[in-house]
Structure 1
Amino acid sequence: MGSKPRGRNFSDQNGMSAQVTNTNTSPVPTGTVRGKLTPDAPLAKHVWFKSGGNADWLFEPADLDDLKAFLKALEPGTPVMPLGVGSNMIIRDGGVPGVVIKLGAAFAEVNVTGETTIEAGAFAPVSMVARRAAKAGIDGLRFFIGIPGSVGGVTKMNGGCYGRETCDVLTSCDVILPGGEFVTLTNADLAFSYRHSALPEGAVVVAVRFEGFPGDPEEIKADMARISNTRKESQPIGSMTGGSTFKNPEGHSSWKLIDDAGLRGFTHGGAQVSEKHCNFLINTGTATSTDIEELGELVREKVYANSGIKLEWEIRRVGRV
């Protein structure tokens, strides 16, 4: 049978407590799954910052049935964290307890399912959803071209840009709950708010359905090209970064608050505030996740001292400190 958690407690960014999993024994009975199960697995290569510790276990399911079987067999109480394309995330240097679920090609299909509807696997980049919708003459999803994330990631965090959010177009999603139960959740079930959803803790999104409206393919494509060019010109594309670091306070832009505090290009260890866009933090090549997170906290302190406004993290910070 699976191992029992042992070791010290840790606190994640929400203050929730869990225990370190014993990685000497498989968390599921031998022969339970067909996918790849790796102990003490490095995660830095899977995230955009290219930093951070290891997962106690990394599971890469072969397909949907394999994922269901794994979560059903997993010892109750074992922490589970889905990992998409690794944008908008800091993996702390102490690593991630329990099991990290990394979906792959079996969860990356994007299909037009109706005149104005798209269904996409959770691992598919949302930019692919935008392009597929444009080709089919489905409008309303063009903003996805500006988000460097996966379908599962934007669902969990209600990703958005240019005045639109995932909640504006998502109709329902399929998830696997801890214990292996397959359920479909509606837009209302997810209770979306700014950069947040009520997706159950440990649930793994596997597929999502989006609803747009009829549009002209060439006009949509032209506007998406404009969005892509604007992003390339204004954001540090190609750098080791995590996307927008802080939420925009009501009535303010985080980048301007950071710039006004004199922090453009500010460094801490191997981490830097982007000179191109102040709401992006960058790993200059030698940064640890601790460097990056500490830089973010220094930015918050200095912005508060300068403006009286407390910035809230948008990037997820997960794992052991």
Structure 2
Amino acid sequence: MSIQELTPIIVIAVIIIAVAVLFTFIPVMLWISALAAGVKVGIFTLVGMRLRRVVPSRVINPLIKAHKAGLNVTTNQLESHYLAGGNVDRVVNALIAAHRANIELSFERCAAIDLAGRDVLEAVQMSVNPKVIETPFIAGIAMDGIEVKAKARITVRANIDRLVGGAGEDTVIARVGEGVVSTIGSSNAHTKVLENPDSISHNVLNSGLDAGTAFEILSIDIADVDIGKNIGAILQTDQAEADKNIAQAKAEERRAMAVAQEQEMVARVQEMRAKVVEAEADVPRALSEALRSGNMGVMDYMNYQNINADTDMRDTIGKLTKDENDENEQ
């Protein structure tokens, strides 16, 4: 083939490649779909989105959806929200749901809620269809010392105005738990809680627990009530055990002191006995010295011996008399 014959083929190939590149860079089909839906979007606007690294379908498709739903949303709004990192499709769906439910919700607030990290579509759906939050068993102690466990079901509705900066479900559950514990603790007896569990709901619901949260509490229902431990009896038992241990410690201390005093007294008696023995050992020496020096005569010594013998005899008679009396008593 000559060069003249190849030239038309090359031109056609170049045209085909140029058209393919053009259709790849410029979303012509998306532009046609927008025109068919009645949305006026310029072809150069789509090219600008490409240059700004915006996926045109992520903006145009939600724009078509909003236009069909009768919402006044512009391309710049959707594109700016996309560039800010928001979910454009979810925001448009939330606006459509709010429009159908006659809920006033502007695009700016909806975009702010989405950028805050909350699911704005779920919030709108929760505004129409309230959500039920079930708490775990919450334990409280009545004044009679009986533990009462209650489980509550909280019906909440999303508050669109407080979604940005409002507390979540965990805060609502914590506040309800605090209210349940306070109500049970203020009851004189656990039987009153069992007889009228609605009193817990009324007291908790009237406390304004939804203040500062992203929800509006519609109702609080007590799903289950159960009896726990007798905390009062357990505390009394522990106190009695502690008092017993203290009394035992004090008694042991007194016993140790008594034993110490007794041992001290025994030591003193032994010391006195030693002194008596020592003194008795000096008596014969003193007698012999008195006899030698003439201070004591023989008759005096004999009288001394008689007195000792008489004393021993009386001691013996006293012991015999005591033993006889003990035998008679037995």
TM-score (norm 1): 0.19
More helix by share: 2
Larger Rg: 2
Quick one: higher RCO (CA 8 Å, sep 6+), 1 or 2? 1
TM-score (norm 2): 0.18
